[in-house]
């Protein structure tokens, strides 16, 4: 049996594929796994889970004017022919797509070659690639109830988001693992792999108000790490409060798991995979979505998640130092609210998405192979 994966460009598209691959590796059928795309995204993960990379070019579909849009039309055009050739040679029994621009040539080629497709939609409003694949998809998995209205009911199911095993490993004493004293609440701030300058700035300006009461672990994004570190040093000087502030650019999945286990509160963007990782750990969150003119999905995700009571949403244009500090204290100083948010977060997590999707892929693969 051969199973193809496609979907990339961000960790939110890529790492759920890894979670499903982990389950497929446990299957008695031991399928051969292939990842199609313009880049490996995370070479170490592909190697660890026995996934063969197959190069296939793809062009991004932007919502704004860029000369790259013109160039990427040709990337997609040639990508379709390359995808047809690569798929014909390998001929997977089924393809699992997480959407994103990298999936478009592969999905079109799969339609031409009559290869069955399963798609997973992480966001509350589907992306273009998954909308394009709706008719050809044999099975459609969604993460939010809100997304159901965009797909045919007879082949759509609410599965939640597959989480990679590193995020779900038990952490007996996370503070010892982190080397952080457990003497006051820990706040974990993350803007994703690319960072978030508005969140970084707001947190920096709030340090003097927050550090007397809390410890803060700040994941800034690799490109802005040095800048944020210098700003923090300038703001804190030789103050003993510096010992309560920890800063990194990008962090590994096991460290994310440890931080989410230890943290009392998480401040984050609204990528669905991150939100469901927070839900798995049952932690209250303050969500600052990327503005809608930049990202079509984050604001919708944020409010779909927050309606459960698991999070407070602060729009980026409303984000100020005082508002952020006030909201943090409002959550952490009110035990009733805190417990209610924690319970709501746990209720958002849906167990078993990885195994459900792996079983569906194997089932369709068996049918196609016969």
Q: What is the pLDDT of residues 53-106, one digit of tens each?
A: 999 987 566 555 555 554 555 566 677 899 999 999 999 999 999 988 888 999
> 43: which 2 tokens?
């070479």
Q: For the chain, what's the residue count?
A: 370
Q: Which range of residues forms the domain containing residue 233?
A: 167-348
Q: Are residues 198 and 133 in the same domain?
A: no
Nearest to 20 by CA among 73, 76, 98: 98
How far apart (Å, rounded) are the C-alpha atoms in residues 9 and 357?
21
How far apart (Å, rounded) are the C-alpha atoms in residues 160 and 74?
35
How far apart (Å, rounded) are the C-alpha atoms in residues 365 and 370?
9
Nearest to 85 by CA among 105, 63, 102, 103: 105
> Which residue has better confidence, 60 or 199?
199
How far apart (Å, rounded) are the C-alpha atoms in residues 144 and 320?
29
Q: How many domains does the chain have?
A: 2
Residue 127: predicted pLDDT: 87
DSSP assignments along 234-287, one per residue: HHHTT-GGGGGEEEESS--HHHHHHHHHH-SEEEE---HHHHHHHHHHT--EEE
Task: Tally Cβ neighbours within 10 Å of residue 306.
Answer: 20
Comparing 71-80, 232-241, 323-332, 339-348, the range with the smallest average pLDDT is: 71-80
Residue 72: predicted pLDDT: 55
Residue 364: predicted pLDDT: 96
Residue 256 sits in a domain whose CATH number is 3.40.50.2000
Q: Are residues 110 and 173 in the same domain?
A: no
Q: How far is it between the farthest Cα atoms of the chain?
A: 70
How deeply is 128 buried, as exposed, middle or buried, from its count of CB atoms within 10 A (0-12, 13-18, 19+)?
A: middle
Q: Are residues 358 and 271 in the same domain?
A: no
Q: Are residues 95 and 228 in the same domain?
A: no
Q: Are residues 133 and 175 in the same domain?
A: no
Quickly state the pLDDT bin for 291 (edges 50, 70, 90).
confident
Residue 108: predicted pLDDT: 93
Residue 91: predicted pLDDT: 96
> Which helix H or strand E contains 324, and what residues bound it?
helix 321-332
Half-sphere exposure of 210 (CA within 13 A, CB side): 31
pLDDT above 90 covers a percentage of the chain that reads 79
Q: Taking the chain, what is the end-to-end CA distance rounded to the nearest angstrom?
A: 11
Q: Are residues 92 and 137 in the same domain?
A: yes
Q: Are residues 110 and 210 in the same domain?
A: no
> Which helix H or strand E contains 158, and what residues bound it?
strand 156-158
Residue 292: predicted pLDDT: 73
Q: Are residues 78 and 183 in the same domain?
A: no
Average the pLDDT over 31-36 and give the result. 97
How far apart (Å, rounded) are the C-alpha atoms in residues 250 and 247?
10
Residue 76 is classified by DSSP as H
Q: Are residues 70 and 200 in the same domain?
A: no
Residue 79: predicted pLDDT: 78
Whether 194 shows a pLDDT value over 70: the answer reads no
Average the pLDDT over 285-303 and give the result. 87
Cα 102 to the center of its chain, rounded Å: 16
Q: Are residues 302 and 209 in the same domain?
A: yes
pLDDT digits over 233-282, tens only? 999 999 999 999 999 999 999 999 999 999 999 999 999 999 999 999 99
Q: Are residues 125 and 180 in the same domain?
A: no
Q: Considering the entire predicted model, what is its pTM?
A: 0.91
Q: Are residues 211 and 143 in the same domain?
A: no
> 206: which 2 tokens?
């709030």
**Edge-to-edge strand list for the sheet holding 245-248:** 245-248, 215-219, 186-190, 265-268, 285-287, 311-313
How far apart (Å, rounded) are the C-alpha atoms in residues 271 and 284?
16
147 near 121, Cβ under 8 Å?
yes
């Amino acid at each position: 049996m051969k199973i193809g994966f496609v979907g990339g460009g961000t960790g939110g598209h890529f790492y759920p594929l890894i979670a499903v691959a982990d389950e497929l590796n446990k299957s008695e059928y031991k399928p051969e796994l292939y990842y199609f795309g313009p880049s490996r995204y995370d070479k170490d993960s592909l190697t660890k889970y026995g996934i063969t990379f197959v190069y296939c070019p793809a062009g991004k579909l932007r919502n704004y004017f860029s000369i790259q849009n013109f160039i990427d039309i040709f990337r997609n055009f040639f990508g379709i022919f390359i995808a047809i050739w690569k798929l014909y040679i390998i001929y997977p029994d089924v393809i699992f797509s997480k959407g994103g621009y990298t999936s478009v040539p592969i999905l079109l080629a799969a339609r031409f070659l009559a290869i069955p497709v399963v798609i997973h939609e992480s966001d509350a409003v589907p992306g273009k690639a998954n909308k394009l694949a709706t008719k050809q998809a044999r099975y459609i998995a969604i993460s939010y109830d809100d997304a159901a209205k965009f797909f045919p009911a007879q082949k759509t199911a609410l599965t939640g988001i597959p989480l990679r095993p590193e995020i779900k490993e038990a952490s007996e004493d996370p503070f010892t693992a982190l080397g952080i004293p457990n003497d006051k609440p820990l706040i974990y701030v993350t803007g994703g792999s690319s960072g978030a300058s508005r969140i970084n700035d707001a947190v920096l300006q709030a340090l003097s108000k927050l550090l007397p009461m809390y410890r803060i672990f700040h994941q800034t994004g690799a490109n802005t790490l040095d800048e944020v570190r210098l700003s923090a040093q300038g703001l804190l000087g030789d103050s003993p409060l510096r010992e309560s502030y920890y800063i990194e650019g990008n962090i590994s999945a096991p460290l994310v798991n440890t931080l989410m286990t230890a943290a009392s509160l998480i401040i984050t963007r609204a990528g669905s995979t991150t939100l469901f990782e927070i839900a798995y750990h049952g932690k209250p969150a303050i969500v600052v979505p990327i503005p809608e003119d930049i990202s079509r999905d984050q604001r919708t995700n944020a409010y779909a998640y927050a309606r459960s009571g698991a999070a407070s949403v602060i729009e980026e244009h409303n984000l100020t130092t005082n508002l952020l500090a006030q909201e943090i204290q409002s959550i952490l100083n009110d035990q009733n609210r805190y417990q209610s948010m924690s319970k709501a977060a746990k209720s958002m997590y849906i167990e078993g998405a990885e195994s459900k999707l792996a079983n569906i892929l194997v089932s369709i693969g068996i049918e196609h192979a016969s």
